Amino acid sequence: MTPLASYRRLLEIAGPAYVVVAFLGRLPLAMSQLGTLLLVSTATGSYGLGGLSAGALAVANAAGAPVAGAVADRTGQRPVVLAQSLAGAVGLAALVAVVQAGAADALVVLTAALTGLVLPQVGPLARVRWRPLTRGTGPLQRRLVDAAFSYEGAADEASFAIGPALVGLTVALVSPGGALLVAAGLLAVFGTAFALDPSAALTRRGSVPLPTGRLVTAVFVVLALAQVSIGMLFGATQTGATVLANDAGRPGAAGLVHATLGVGSAVAGIATAYLPARIGHERRSLVAASALLVLSLPLLLVDSLLGATATVLVLGCAVAPYMIGIFSLAERVVPPARVGAAMTTLASATGLGYALGSSLAGRLADADGATAAFGVTVGASVLAVVLMTTQQGRLHRAVQTALVTEQERDQAAAATSVRSPL
20: left (phi over 0), alpha (psi -120 to 50) or beta: alpha
- Residue 107 confidence (pLDDT) above 70: yes
Higher pLDDT, 408 or 8: 8
Residue 382 has pLDDT above 90, yes or no: yes
Domain count, the chain: 2
Give, in degrees to the nearest 5, the angle at Cα 359 between 180 and 104.
45
Whether the CA torsion 130, 133, 135, 138 is positive or negative: it is negative
In this prediction, residue 126 carries a pLDDT of 92
Query: Residue 29 maps to which CATH number?
Result: 1.20.1250.20
DSSP state of 280: -
| Phi, then psi, of 101 in degrees rounded to 5 | -85, -5
* Same domain, residue pair 280 and 202: no
Residues 109 and 221 in one domain: no
| 326-338: average pLDDT | 85
Q: Has residue 415 been placed in a domain?
A: no
Q: What is the rounded distance in angstroms from the CA atom of residue 232 to the CA atom of residue 299?
A: 15
pLDDT class of 418 with cuts at 50, 70, 90: very low
Average pLDDT over residues 255-268: 79
Enter the pTM of the model: 0.79
* Domain range for 386: 210-408
Contact status, residue 120 vs residue 85, Cβ threshold 8 Å: yes
Instruction: Tell me what the mean pLDDT of segment 241-257 comes to.
Output: 75
Q: What is the pLDDT of residue 36?
A: 86
Q: What is the pLDDT of residue 417?
A: 45
Per-residue pLDDT, averaged over 192-217, amounts to 76
Among candidate residues 209, 228, 258, the one where a domain is terminated: 209
276 and 150 share one domain: no
The helix, strand and coil proportions of the chain, stated in percent and rounded to the nearest 5, come to 85, 0, 15
Inside any domain, residue 420: no
- Check whether residue 41 and residue 140 sit in a common domain: yes
**Last residue of a domain, which of 174, 209, 244?**
209
pLDDT band at 28 (very low <50, low <70, confident <90, very high): very high
Q: Per mean pLDDT, which range of 3-7, 208-212, 305-309, 369-373 is the poorest?
A: 208-212
CA 303 to chain centre: 29
User: What is the pLDDT averaged over residues 334-344?
Assistant: 83
Which of 175 and 291 is assigned the larger pLDDT?
291
pLDDT tens per residue across span 36-88: 877 887 888 776 787 788 878 888 998 898 899 889 888 889 999 999 999 99
Residue 146 and residue 287 in one domain: no
Name the H helices within 76-140: 77-100, 105-118, 122-133
